[in-house]
Structure 1
Amino acid sequence: MRYGINGSGRMLTEGVPGVLAGLTEAEAAGFSSYWVAQVGLIDALTLIGAHGETGSPMEIGTAVISTWERHPHMLAAQALTTQALVGDRLIVGIGVNHQPHVEQSLRLPWEKPVRHMADYLAILQDLLATGRASFQGEAWSFDGEGARPSEGVPKVMIAALGDQMLRLAGRRTDGTILWCVGPKTIAAHIAPAINDAAAAADRPEPAIVCSIPVWVTDDPEPARGFLGAILADYAQLPSYRAMMDIEGVEGLGELSIVGDEAFVRDQLGEIERSGATDFTPVPMGGDPDEVARTMAVLTEAMG
């Protein structure tokens, strides 16, 4: 299992400078990947591009960009431009977001999300690979071509949780990026669906990227209570609620990996045995010492 870092926590607390610092630190430590969420009005691809080409092989991914706000032609242009800035190591992580956000904030109809994603991929992946696409779909259409600023082809992954989206991910993409998903759910639900779909389509084994908070501490109960409170909204979203129900937890306070070094190491082993190919935690801590202890365990786990 590969280890990366999800920098979304630093984005919320330290903004753009914190994430740029995190990218540099993760490269120096030897992590395999670093992930940046599309949070608020901070654009993930612009931020990644600002990091630039450093000669590091560490992959940098978006986890994730919502498809509703950007036509796939525009996202392809942004992604290829970003890749030209950072080198051939970009992963374009996308997702359909959630029905409440789409309907209440964007004022768009939530219709056929799987068809929406299938149409999106048809255009996006052709543009990323060749600079050309010709597709007429129900949700998205495009006919045209353009010069590509980067010769490499970025990987594409989707935030797939339900059966239909997992099958689409296995058939058409490089993998799935998970949030609010634990080892029981990966083993029983995520891995079988996406791996079977990839095998049926004669595609390589897809990545299963698991992200949850990790916090090394000698006093876990207050830490769990804090995480449960600040991340409570996730447990109310239907797609995440379904995953937590499979796992048998109420919220992220229970799902997160919180405890001393021995406990955290044991839980990392559970995730690896579940079938996850990558673990990209949000490192946490109540003070600098706990943050340092958390990072030390993750660095050690890389081997």
Structure 2
Amino acid sequence: MALPALSIHLSNHGDAARTVEDIVLAESRGVRRVWVSEDLFHRGAMPIVAAALARTRTIELAFGVLAPQHRHPASMAMDIRSLREIGGDRIIIGLGSGVAERGALIAQPASPPLRIVDEAVSALRTLLAGSALDQEGVLHTSKGLRLTGASAIPPVYVAAVGPKALQQAGRRMDGVVLTMMCSQEHARWAAGRVAAAAVDAGRGQVPVVAYLPIAVDEDGAEARDRMRGVLGYFIARWSQVAFLSKLFLDWSELDVERMTRIREAFDAGEPLDELLPDALVDQYCVAGTAEECHRTIEAFAEAGITEIAFDASDDLDGVTALIAELQDGGA
């Protein structure tokens, strides 16, 4: 089976200058695309991507993802126009409704997430095309708003978890991003929803991107041990966020009681071996020897994933080396 496209994901939690250097290094090693996240209260993705575009020539830079609640569509359109003038057609826009629990910390009003994203996409496409924006939205209302000129419109991907968001992506978006902690079972279900909506809308294949944590080692058990800590971290943090906790409750053997035990053990620094067996690690992570990782990647491809963005925030060397090996057909 053909492998999906392979890219990397970098979080915005670390030093911004270091992230730019990582993108430059990734390009030198043949990586085709980098997804840069923008979680609230860390670093802004816009300046990171702008600096990286100025330092690189071929690598694509994707936002994974921006929240429309934090920026007026006109401001986003202006920034995107500038980024295209710096880096050409190497930009991909990723939009998502964000995490309400984080938005509440800045008094962000609760708004229908699907409508927020739909309105933002429509506004961006209208403004970048050089047309006047007349929109009465849940967040922003504009009458006759227009940029001073037109710009090519980059592909627009959206982050989606639930069925309605996935269907929206299949009907009218250029691609969809599945968040970290996307199990193989969830990937199959999500890709199926996107594909069905695309068919109903008379469209072709809509790309589906999955963020996946990865650890590769000659000792497969050692690689899984490393991923146990990553999986424990996400369960501990996401168990308290309603829609994110569903990624575990709906798609694994975990229940609320067991997730609470995992959170308590993780926060206390206790071993997670019994709470997070290898089978659960393999559901949510790419871990093991190079051969084992190759099989897991094939399984995600068979589930309908067209691009895997490996999280490389903590091991850029190892991840880029594996990508090069896989692309050369060496695994």
**Is contact 1:220–1:259 with CA below 8 Å preserved after alignment?**
yes
2:172 paired residue number: 172
Matches within 5 A, 1:199-218: 199-217=199-217, 218=219
Matched, 1:277 2:306: yes
1:97 paired residue number: 98
**Is contact 1:31–1:302 with CA below 8 Å preserved after alignment?**
no
**Is contact 1:119–1:141 with CA below 8 Å preserved after alignment?**
no
**Is contact 2:69–2:139 with CA below 8 Å preserved after alignment?**
no
1:71 paired residue number: 72
Matched, 1:4 2:29: no
Deviations 1:53-81 (A, max 9, x none): 56744321011112211111111111221
The letter of the residue matching 1:259 is G
Partners of 2:319 and 2:32 lie apart in 1 by 17
**Is contact 2:66–2:95 with CA below 8 Å preserved after alignment?**
yes
**Is contact 2:128–2:151 with CA below 8 Å preserved after alignment?**
no
Partners of 1:52 and 1:293 lie apart in 2 by 23
1:162 Cα offset (Å): 0.8
- What TM-score, normalized by structure 2, do the two folds share? 0.80
Partners of 1:20 and 1:284 lie apart in 2 by 12
1:191 Cα offset (Å): 1.0
Partners of 1:53 and 1:100 lie apart in 2 by 35
1:237 Cα offset (Å): 2.2
1:41 Cα offset (Å): 4.0
Partners of 2:28 and 2:294 lie apart in 1 by 22
1:125 paired residue number: 125
- Partner residue of 2:225 out of 217, 222, 225: 222
1:260 Cα offset (Å): 1.9
Partners of 2:229 and 2:119 lie apart in 1 by 40
Deviations 1:115-153 (A, max 9, x none): 2222222212211233532222334322311124x7321
**Is contact 2:223–2:287 with CA below 8 Å preserved after alignment?**
yes
1:235 Cα offset (Å): 4.0
**Is contact 2:215–2:224 with CA below 8 Å preserved after alignment?**
no
1:302 paired residue number: 327
Deviations 1:137-173 (A, max 9, x none): 334322311124x732111111011111111112221
**Is contact 1:73–1:142 with CA below 8 Å preserved after alignment?**
no
1:297 Cα offset (Å): 2.0
1:106 paired residue number: 106
1:202 Cα offset (Å): 2.4
Question: Structure 1: 5+ residue runs without aligned partners?
Answer: none
Distance change in 2, residues 1:172/1:140 (3 Å): farther
Matched, 1:242 2:271: no
Deviations 1:270-298 (A, max 9, x none): 1111111111110376xx7xx64443222
Which is worse superposed, 126-135 or 258-267? 126-135
1:268 Cα offset (Å): 1.0
Deviations 1:244-283 (A, max 9, x none): 3343165898322222222211111111111111111103
The letter of the residue matching 2:233 is I
Partners of 1:249 and 1:141 lie apart in 2 by 45
Q: 4+ runs of 1 displaced by more than 6 Å?
A: none
Q: Secondary structure at the match of 2:305?
A: coil
- What TM-score, normalized by structure 1, do the two folds share? 0.87
**Is contact 2:111–2:138 with CA below 8 Å preserved after alignment?**
no
**Is contact 2:38–2:66 with CA below 8 Å preserved after alignment?**
yes
Distance change in 2, residues 1:224/1:181 (3 Å): same
Q: How many residues align?
A: 293
Which is worse superposed, 32-41 or 235-244? 235-244
Partners of 1:62 and 1:275 lie apart in 2 by 22
Deviations 1:17-65 (A, max 9, x none): 2211221122222222111111434211211111235674432101111
The letter of the residue matching 2:308 is F
1:239 Cα offset (Å): 2.3
Bigger Cα Rg: 2
Question: Structure 2: 5+ residue runs without aligned partners?
Answer: 260-275
Partners of 2:96 and 2:253 lie apart in 1 by 24
1:181 Cα offset (Å): 0.9
Distance change in 2, residues 1:76/1:151 (3 Å): closer
Q: Secondary structure at the match of 1:65?
A: coil
RMSD value, Cα: 2.4
Which is worse superposed, 48-57 or 198-207? 48-57
